[in-house]
Structure 1
């Protein structure tokens, strides 16, 4: 599903901020991406999403060489990926419901076919009473849950989640994790970036991708 071979990244003429990254993410797997603050977890996720281009090395996404893809092909591949970044990226003029349903609208689906599914997911993440609210009146935790719901609604082949439980209380964090686990069981590969050791300890069998000193270490 994802393969990195000797990937390096630098900005301008500066030193490499990530170097010699070689790893793969197989279908239907669950892994944590961890490391100290500033190690490059978010940057690595942007590389996987192809929103950053590596300085060197090869990235293969869903069997295709990323260096040969045009803009339309990259857009098509991204539709297979659900993404939750820390800045949420909700559209201010859309309600919570509309933000979550947006990927389905982009796919051309009729609202009558997906409305019940969106409403049910919003209830699951605790936003059933906030579905008609605009992002400006949502708390940070509510925005985070809306971003998670938007990423999950398309049942992606790959989910990238950057600190998805960082702004919610422990009970809701466990509930969201159960949602990720169920998504994984249904066939989605899940990559959760976190520095929360307690969170990772709940999933001792999960693979760990550890960033440190600009390199990635893999622990199966």
Structure 2
């Protein structure tokens, strides 16, 4: 589904943040992306979400060379990718329900066609009683779960998550990871960026380890 070949990225004239990164995301795969703070995990996720372009190298996504895509084609590919940002990016003037439903509204879908699914998903992530609450009222963990639900509502082919358990306690972290595992079982490829080694040790999954801008893969 995704292939990076000798990808490098630098900001301006500075040193390369990523160097000679080569890896793939196969269909129906589950992987962790880890490494110390500042190693480039978020930068790699931004490349995967097509919000950054590499300085060099080749990125192929769904059999398309992303360097050759126009804005409309990039937008079409992004609709096949779900992403959970580290800072949530919920809209404070929309309720939890409205935030989760927003990707479907943007696609022009009628509420009658998705309302039941949004409610079911909010119940699945433990926010059924908070669907009509505005984000400023939610705790950090509740905001995290709302952001995860929003990323899942479009049934993405690939889900990217940047430190999705960073604002929750260990019990809830395990629950959220099991949610990602269940999503993976439905056919979605999942890539989770985390520094929580103890949490990763509870799951049998491939690890992509970033260190000083270079990537090592541990099966």
Query: What residue number does 1:207 align with?
Result: 206
Counterparts of 1:178 and 1:26, CA distance in 2: 20
Counterparts of 2:170 and 2:16, CA distance in 1: 37
Per-residue CA deviation, residues 57-76 of structure 1 (Å, 9 max, x unaligned), is: 11111110010001110000
Instruction: Classify the secondary structure of the residue corresponding to 2:126.
Output: coil
How many residues are paired up? 219
Q: Kindly state the Cα deviation for residue 91 of structure 1 after the two structures are TM-superposed.
A: 1.2
Counterparts of 2:213 and 2:177, CA distance in 1: 28
For the 8 Å contact 1:163–1:192, the answer to whether it is kept is yes
Query: What residue number does 1:6 align with?
Result: 6
Instruction: Classify the secondary structure of the residue corresponding to 2:166.
Output: coil
Counterparts of 1:178 and 1:108, CA distance in 2: 31
Range moving further from structure 2, 172-181 or 150-159: 172-181
Q: Kindly state the Cα deviation for residue 160 of structure 1 after the two structures are TM-superposed.
A: 0.1
Query: What residue number does 1:86 align with?
Result: 86
For the 8 Å contact 1:4–1:58, the answer to whether it is kept is yes
Query: What residue number does 2:97 align with?
Result: 97
What runs of 5+ residues in structure 2 fail to find an aligned partner? none
Instruction: Classify the secondary structure of the residue corresponding to 2:165.
Output: coil
Counterparts of 1:80 and 1:68, CA distance in 2: 18
Query: What residue number does 1:219 align with?
Result: 218
Counterparts of 1:107 and 1:177, CA distance in 2: 28
Q: Where has structure 1 moved over 3 Å in runs of 4 or more? A: none
- Structure 2 length-normalised TM: 0.97
Range moving further from structure 2, 66-75 or 132-141: 132-141
What runs of 5+ residues in structure 1 fail to find an aligned partner? none
